[in-house]
Amino acid sequence: MYWDQLTSPQVDALDRNIPVILPVSATEQHGAHLPLATDRLIGEHFCRQLNAQLSGQVLILPSVGIGCSEHHKDFAGSLSVQHQTFLQQLSDIADCVLGYGFKNILILNSHGGNQAIGQSFVEIYGYRHPQLNLAIATWWRIAAEALQELNESGPGGAGHAGEFETSLMLLIAPDLVQLDQIQPKANVPTLEWAEGDMLTGPRVGLYRRMKEMTPIGVYGDPSAGTVEKGKKITDIVVQALKQVLLDMSQLSQ
Ligand SMILES: [Zn+2]
C-alpha cells in the first residue's frame, strides 16, 4: 500500500505493526547515459515489487527524492541538500509516522551519499525512540555476496552509473537510457586502500569529489549492463528486503 493513496480513515484503520518504508534517494548526474532521477527510479522500482509481493503487508511513504549530493555538483543538474537538512527531514517524517502509532520504519536507500548520514539518523533517532524499530537498508549492501556473483566488469565496475545501475535502468526505464552515450570505464585510480565500488567498499574512506573520481561522472563500467542482469538484481534485492520487512513486523508483536 502507498501511504499517499490511502484516505486518512484508511491509514487510521491499519494495524500499527505494519512495516513502513521510507524510500530515500537523490537527484543527481549519472553520466551522459542515465537520467538525473536514476536513484529515485531504482528505489521506487524495488518498492513497486515489494508492494506487489507483500500486498497489504507493507506501507510505502512518498520518496525523499533529493539527498546529499554535494560531491556531484561539478556536473550540471545535480541537486543536493545539506546533511543537516536531510537529517532534519528524516526526523520530521519519522515524527509523523511515529505519532500515528506505527512501530516499524525501514529506510530504503538508493544513493551512496545518503549512507553515512542515514546510519547516523538511525542511531540518533533510534536512541531517542526505543519503542520504534528503525533500520536502514541500502540496496546494493543488503545482499552484496549474491550480487557479487552477477558482477562481470570486475573490481570498480559496479560503481556510480556503472554495471548495476545501468542494468536496472535498462529494465525499469529503457526510454531514459541513452545507449549511444555509454562511454568506456574512466575511473581515476587512487591509493590502493581507498579503491572500491558498490560491492566492495574501500578499506579507508578517502574523500574525493565525483569529478576527481571520474571525469565523465560514471564510476564503473556501464557497457556490462543488461536487462537480464537488472531482473536478477531485482530478484535478489527484493527477496532480501522482504525478509527484513517480515522480520521487523515480528519484532513489534
Ligand atoms: Zn545512482
**Domain containing residue 169: CATH number:** 3.40.50.10310
Q: Residue 253 falls within a domain, yes or no?
A: no
Residues in contact with 75: Cβ distance below 8 Å, sequence separation at least 6, in sequence order: 28, 29, 210, 211, 217
Q: Residue 140 falls within a domain, yes or no?
A: yes
Instruction: Give the pLDDT of residue 108.
Output: 98
The total domain count for the chain is 1
Q: What's the pLDDT band for 68 if we cut at 50, 70, 90?
A: very high
Question: Is residue 113 scored above 80 in pLDDT?
Answer: yes
Q: Please identify which residue in the block is written with the cell numbers 519484532.
A: 251
How many whole angstroms from 218 Cα to the centroid of ligand 1?
A: 9
Q: Residue 209 falls within a domain, yes or no?
A: yes
How many whole angstroms from 146 Cα to the centroid of ligand 1?
A: 20
pTM above 0.95, yes or no: yes
How many whole angstroms from 229 Cα to the centroid of ligand 1?
A: 16
Contact 87, 116 (CB under 8 A): no
Query: Residue 237 belongs to what domain range?
Result: 3-248
Q: Please identify which residue in the block is written with the cell numbers 527531514.
A: 89
- Give CA–CA dist 108/137, Å, rounded: 5
How many whole angstroms from 110 Cα to the centroid of ligand 1?
A: 7
- Give CA–CA dist 90/86, Å, rounded: 6
How many whole angstroms from 10 Cα to the centroid of ligand 1?
A: 34
Average pLDDT value for the chain: 96
How many whole angstroms from 111 Cα to the centroid of ligand 1?
A: 6
